[in-house]
Amino acid sequence: MKNIYFMGECMVELRAMSAATLHQSFAGDVYNSAVYLKRSFPQVATSVVTALGQDNLSKKMLERFESEQLDTQFVFAHDSKVPGMYYIETDAFGERSFTYWRSDSAAKKVVSFLNTDVVKQLSQGDMFFFSGISLAVIDENAREDFWRVVKQLKSAGVKIVFDPNYRARLWNSVDETKTQYDLAFGLADVTLPGVEDLETLYDVHSVEDVIEYLKIYNIDEIIVKNGPESVITQLDNTLQSHTIIPVTNVVDTTSAGDAFNGVYLGARLSGKSIADAVQLGAKAAGAVIQQPGAIAPKDVFQLAMGKAGI
């Protein structure tokens, strides 16, 4: 059985149902990807690596992980911190905006739990996934330890997967971000950037610019997402362009990229070609953006993926 570890933050999601009513759920970029991977490819062992608290919301979040059949052996319980929280609003075009309460969340402390025994177990994995948000959230003074862990995993043969997923408000400066991303790209075997992720950081404005910029890192597998327009992939220096059929009924774009990432990686771990993996990832993203919130109802999502041949 193939396995993958997703390291990052899951938060409490609040979404307005009416002027006086909020819907509460759980979401976060790496968690969303893990959910959509597991729903589409149940044969892939999918684990979340994060830290929660010992409060009731943390317990409910853990129960949600388990209900999605995610492995939780590396979901750690901090003795004094609690999960972060965000409020999401969407406009008439499905574009979203967020208000966050996460500056002291338990997930910031996750690296402190990655002791020798944990790293040894993670070293048995096939893939280790983290994002730019994962990097931004962890304590700055823990980043050196984090990179030490990533290097150990790579040396053990684990494929390192990085999604830049740039959120400017989470970083102190562009220079700080670029320093951390340089380390991430330098260790990545697979990367899944969106063009908009890298525009501000590296002054790249097209898929071709992104591919050209990433050449210096010798990354084996590059998947560049360009919104609803197309996906360009590079595998072992072979470029492919993949046409994506856009969705017209856009309700909420919150986790389109997360769904793509999860299903793409699940497909690759399951032996699918890069072209098939892109189409399945795009199908997942298209299904998700037609539903409100980061996590689409399971029956709706699996119906859509069933039609895609999974």
Q: Which residues form the catalytic set?
A: 258
d(CA 268, CA 4): 11
**In this structure, what token pair is assigned to residue 39?**
């729903």
The number of residues in the chain equals 310
Cα torsion through 60, 62, 63, 69, rounded to 10: 150
Backbone angles phi, psi at 122, to 5 degrees: -65, -30
Helix (H, G, I), strand (E, B) or coil at 92: coil
d(CA 82, CA 108): 10
* Alpha carbon 156 to its chain's center: 22
- C-beta of residue 13 within 8 angstroms of C-beta of residue 88: yes
